[in-house]
A and B are shown apart, each in its own frame.
Chain A
């Protein structure tokens, strides 16, 4: 009788254990790494495999948008018996808008094709240097980037350069877009950080990574990437402090970048020099060690974004790094090797006395720049600048003289600076007469002698719509103008997309990490529940977990200090801040997440990922191995 009950009891217990184990196993899934460079390597491998099939020159394999981020680009794969180079022509609606390029001699060809129209069957001609030609058709999908009301004015076609497209960086839309002389969209790169674009000698671009660091700092991006116009990424650089707005290439090949204080206690007040080979920070500068926050008398010189560095220029002859600091309405000059302040160029009104000896002196009636953006060294002491005219063109002490936005304007201006005499004078200006007031973003690209591309990127039309005005300017006269509405434009550039290196055999590389994330005191909530479906958790190759997405709460009383909790096998928890912003939801408040937690420096182990919200612990359903 005893035996009869004993066995079933054991069976029941075993089953219960099995059930418990099975249920537990379903509770958390191990996060796998999201790695776009690995996905890209898979595409490259497929392209190279296909090439072995020996596609003929007259019937090449055409892959549109091979990497998923350049919808108006394609690659033609074919083989020739002899090594031979050639040309590629994407036919425009008119011949003047043909987009042409060349490719180097080879037997196996991977020819990038740039300049396709959206939503049509494009006619493309491939021509080999041996005289053979092939006409092919390439179909593309319609593409709506969110911009509208395009208007083009061709003022002087003789001075227009048809060999280049106008490339616009649309930051809020996370895309870069290229337009021809008719304002037709001919190139796009989606999913980008899209503020400054820097062209490298190899034809690739340096652009920001798309991810912001934290909710309190949306436009500080985790770093930069080297990408070609076909959308292939060659290098991704990540570091604590990230990128904000500017990347320049130094004479030694390093990248100089405006960024934020490591740890992000303040932002946009740090400069980083990144070694492109190792990804290491080779040099950095804390602007707050040179300028005390709150000492400029400028309206926005306060809080975490007191400085807002947004542009750089470097003079190798004098080892001088110029930094445009928008929120102190000044450009500062720093001797790079010693990190010493040389001079400050900005309206002296309201500056703290201790900076008097650094401020450049200007003649009577001189017009300073306010909230300025892109700066370019022009030689012989000349400095080109986009003067936004922000803050009503005054410092706070003169607030009563502020210009109304409808009377304000933005311009490009060349100043001459005498470093020894510490004086400044205005040499030239352009654009005031149009009355385009772009309070933020915007810039100018120098294209030759007295030739510029000027971007007024954040104007407001009479009906309140955000508008962009871009002008190609030669000898103080507009040659061509492109206007559109729908979103702002950080900067625009004139580039020929061809001429760069594309190589599917090169594997993209990750460099750097997010450093250690500061741990906080915390405790798990008493009540445990599943995290809302809108919360997204992503693991990146540089061992950082990104929290994104959103969820809704009933009212403000439900908003709290939210934590990330990483719970190890022993039940011990590590806590990190989970920042958020809020927006109005249909019924209540929407909580929007955008936060990284780096695993660097944590003890090895497996961690369950949880969120702590008020008295509750939310299971994300994921664990991560470190």
Chain B
């Protein structure tokens, strides 16, 4: 009987390992040097950490991935007129003691009319209750192969892309959550980690 149980357990383990092993998270720039990159399946992450009921909100936020990096480096190959490729290095680093928190999201408008999605109402809150906003200009992440969400208010549709915040390294080691103040609709909260 013990053999039976052992074999069944092996079978279960085999099947579980085959179907349960998820690929590494996407959105990690190939050449980027990162301090700490999540290896969580982005879809599972979103499902698991969607604290608020998104149906309550005109603007629905789905966190698809996040990355924490102490600097970003990318060599961009720029093709010249005669075909030569010139490598243009892009290096970006936060202030000393800080890290980049890059959030990859889908932000969708669920109904017509209503207001805009304003980044001024979008914050990340750390374990100690400190509040952080999107960098005033995070356009540099486009150079590191991220598709960037516009920095102006979102007006319509399904918007997929990434944004960057600069937070203290200590804050990045604890829990983090997104808070979007949707006015009369309430606070939309999503746990990052």
Residues of A within 8 A of B (CB): 4, 8, 11-12, 14-16, 18-19, 22-23, 26, 42-43, 46-47, 49-50, 52-53, 61-66, 139-142, 144, 171-172, 212, 215-219, 440, 488, 533-534, 550, 581-586, 590, 592, 594
Contacting residues, chain A, for B19 (C-beta < 8 A)? 22
- Cα separation A18 to B8 with both chains bound (whole Å): 14
Q: Is the CB of A50 within 8 A of B112?
A: yes
- Cα separation A349 to B18 with both chains bound (whole Å): 73
Q: Is the CB of B155 within 8 A of A172?
A: no
Contacting residues, chain B, for A212 (C-beta < 8 A)? 79
Q: Interface residues of B, CB < 8 Å — how many?
A: 39
Q: Is the CB of B23 within 8 A of A594?
A: no
Question: How far does the Cβ of B4 sit from chain A's closest Cβ, in whole Å?
Answer: 7
Q: Is the CB of B85 within 8 A of A11?
A: no
CB-contact partner of A15 in B11, B112, B158, under 8 A = B11
CB-contact partner of A65 in B4, B10, B109, B150, under 8 A = B150
Q: 8 Å CB contacts to A: which residues of B146-193?
A: 150-153, 155-158
Q: Is the CB of B85 within 8 A of A139?
A: no
Contacting residues, chain A, for B155 (C-beta < 8 A)? 61-64
Contacting residues, chain A, for B85 (C-beta < 8 A)? 550, 581-583, 590, 592
Contacting residues, chain A, for B11 (C-beta < 8 A)? 11-12, 14-15
Other contacts beyond A47-B156, A61-B156, A583-B87: 11, CB < 8 A = A15-B14, A15-B15, A22-B15, A22-B18, A42-B158, A53-B112, A142-B139, A218-B82, A534-B30, A584-B87, A592-B85
- Cα separation A590 to B76 with both chains bound (whole Å): 11
- Cα separation A62 to B154 with both chains bound (whole Å): 10
CB-contact partner of B152 in A47, A64, A590, under 8 A = A64
- Cα separation A594 to B78 with both chains bound (whole Å): 12
- Cα separation A533 to B82 with both chains bound (whole Å): 26
- Minimal Cβ-Cβ distance residue in B for A53: B113
Q: Is the CB of A139 within 8 A of B152?
A: yes
Q: Is the CB of B157 within 8 A of A172?
A: no
Q: Is the CB of A590 within 8 A of B87?
A: yes
Q: Is the CB of B150 within 8 A of A64?
A: yes
Question: How far does the Cβ of B106 sit from chain A's closest Cβ, in whole Å?
Answer: 13
B55-99 CB contact bits vs A (8 Å, 1 = yes)?
000000000000000000001011111111111000000000000
Is B7 positioned at the interface, with any CB of A under 8 Å from its CB?
A: yes
- Cα separation A114 to B123 with both chains bound (whole Å): 32
- Cα separation A20 to B15 with both chains bound (whole Å): 10
Return 6 A-B CB contacts under 8 Å, by A number: A19-B18, A47-B156, A215-B83, A218-B79, A219-B81, A592-B85
Which of B15, B17, B157 counts the most A-chain CB atoms under 10 A from its CB?
B157
- Cα separation A25 to B112 with both chains bound (whole Å): 39
Q: Is the CB of B157 within 8 A of A46?
A: yes
Contacting residues, chain A, for B7 (C-beta < 8 A)? 8, 11-12
CB-contact partner of A216 in B83, B150, B153, under 8 A = B83
Q: Is the CB of B112 within 8 A of A23?
A: no
